[in-house]
Every structure is written in C-alpha cells, then in structure tokens.
Amino acid sequence: MNDTRTLIKKILVSGRIITLTGLHIGGSNTSIAIGGVDSSVIRNPLDNKPIIPGSSLKGKMRSLLEQLDGVFGRGVGRNSNHGPTDDPTNRIAKVFGTAVNETNNVPSKVIVRDCELLDAENEILDNQNTDLPYSEIKTEVVIDRITAAATPRNLERVPAGVEFSFDMVINVFDNDDEEKMVNMVFNGLKLLQDDYLGGSGSRGSGQIKFVIEEVKERSREYYIENESKAEIPYAIVELPEELK
C-alpha cells in the first residue's frame, strides 16, 4: 500500500499509570540463581528500575479492540493460532498498523512510549522492605489433581500503588477520520483498565488505572514554521471520565 499521505497534526497524550494490583511484565530471567525468581520483571538496565514497555501497552490495547470487533489474523509463532489482523482495510489495522510485507504494509499511527517509574511518587519503594529492588515476589502454587503435591512458582511483580509515566502520540493524516481514530484509542485504554496488563491477570495481577493529565495537538505548522502557537489543547474528542 503506497498511497501518499500528508501529516496534518500530532496528538500528544500524557499522564500516569497507577498499579492497582501487583504488575508482572516479564523480562530476562537472569535473577533466577540469585533471588530464586522463576519469572522476573523487565527493567531499565541503566538504573535497574522496572519499566512498562510501550509495546506491551500497545499490543494489549490492540488485542482487546480486536476481541471487541471479533477480528483476528494468522497465528504468530508456535503457540499462537490467532494473531493481529493483517487486513489493511480493517479499522483497527488502519490505526495500529500491520506487519511488514510486500503488498499490504500499513504503518502504525499510534506511538506508545516506554513507561518509566516515577521517583517522586514512588518513595515508598525506597523505604519499604521489598523482596527485590522495587519489586515483590508472589508465590503461586500448582496442585497436582491426583497426588495433591504442591509445586510453588515465584513471580516477581511491581507492587500495587506504584506510578509510571505514560506518553502516547497519535499521528493524524489528511485522509483519516480523526474523531473515530481518537475514540478508538481512548476505548482501547478503557478496555485495558477493565482487563489486565502483563502476566497472571486471571490470578489477580495486572490491574491498572490511567490518569490522563494532558491532551494537546501540534499542527504541521509547529514543525514546518517553528510556530509555537500551533500547539494547542486538544478539543475535538473529549477525554472520557474513566481516563481522568
């Protein structure tokens, strides 16, 4: 798909993510031998603080929106029979993009930044006795249905009450239905609040809350003419109360 498009504006969404229950987004399990953790969280290698990858947020939003519409694509990998839709005419694919291929490549119009731990709001993590730096260990047990033998498994989680930064960009082009596109993204955030992020969601982990503090737009003049007045509060689509 090689149709020419002109960028009209960028919509910048910023705020915070609050963990309502422990959050586990898996990283490299290099800490197994040290701390006895079977599944560790992903961290910033520079300061060892947990992060929420933008890819995890965006992928979960897309997955929930596709479940809502009942559309799926081909399986990805050995353990996935239903992957993201690769139909370039699908409304979700038009916003979130498709995998790169020779005929139907649709670039994503949504950028989700990695979410960093907010230091000022997370002093509690420096003061309390957490099992590992900035995290806790939750032990889950699998019971053998015949012998009743218990097999424990240690899961590393970011504790409830922790806050992360949240930043997202929505690119709007001249042929886009802006209102429908922004509403879809906001609906994806609402769906995620009512679902879970990361692993072990059906067992209590991963409930989060979005607190959107600012939505603004920068028109193409902001970038072409360096015109500061081209940045204004976004008003075309009202931010849902659930995301405030």
**Would you report the helix, strand and coil content of the chain in percent, each value rounded to 5?**
25, 30, 45
Residue 81: predicted pLDDT: 54
Residue 112: predicted pLDDT: 98
Answer for the pair 162, 19: CB distance below 8 angstroms, yes or no.
yes
Compare 126 and 112 and report the one with higher pLDDT. 112
Q: Which two tokens stand for residue 35?
A: 């701390």
Residue 35: predicted pLDDT: 46
Residue 235: predicted pLDDT: 94
Where along the chain do its domains lie? Answer: 7-243
Compute the average pLDDT of residues 112-131: 72
The pLDDT confidence band at residue 128, using thresholds 50, 70 and 90, is low
The pLDDT confidence band at residue 203, using thresholds 50, 70 and 90, is confident
Please give the full DSSP string across 81-106, using - where no structure is assigned. SEE----TTSHHHHHH-----SS---
Q: Is the pLDDT of residue 59 over 90?
A: yes
Compute the average pLDDT of residues 58-83: 78
The pLDDT confidence band at residue 182, using thresholds 50, 70 and 90, is very high
DSSP 8-class letter at 158: B
Compute the average pLDDT of residues 206-215: 97
Percent of the chain residues past pLDDT 70, beyond the cut: 80
Compute the average pLDDT of residues 82-86: 69
| Residues 25-58: tens digit of each pLDDT | 875 554 444 444 456 788 888 988 899 999 999 9
Residue 188: predicted pLDDT: 98
If 0-12 CB within 10 Å is exposed, 13-18 middle and 19+ buried, where does residue 115 land? Answer: buried
Helices then strands, each counted (H, E), the chain? 6, 11
Taking the C-alpha atoms of residue 158 and residue 41, their distance in angstroms, rounded to an integer, is 8
Please give the full DSSP string across 23-49, using - where no structure is assigned. B--B---TTHHHH--SBPBPB-TTT--
Mean pLDDT value across the chain: 84
Q: Is the pLDDT of residue 1 over 70?
A: no
- The β-bridge partners of 136 are 157
Compute the average pLDDT of residues 98-108: 75
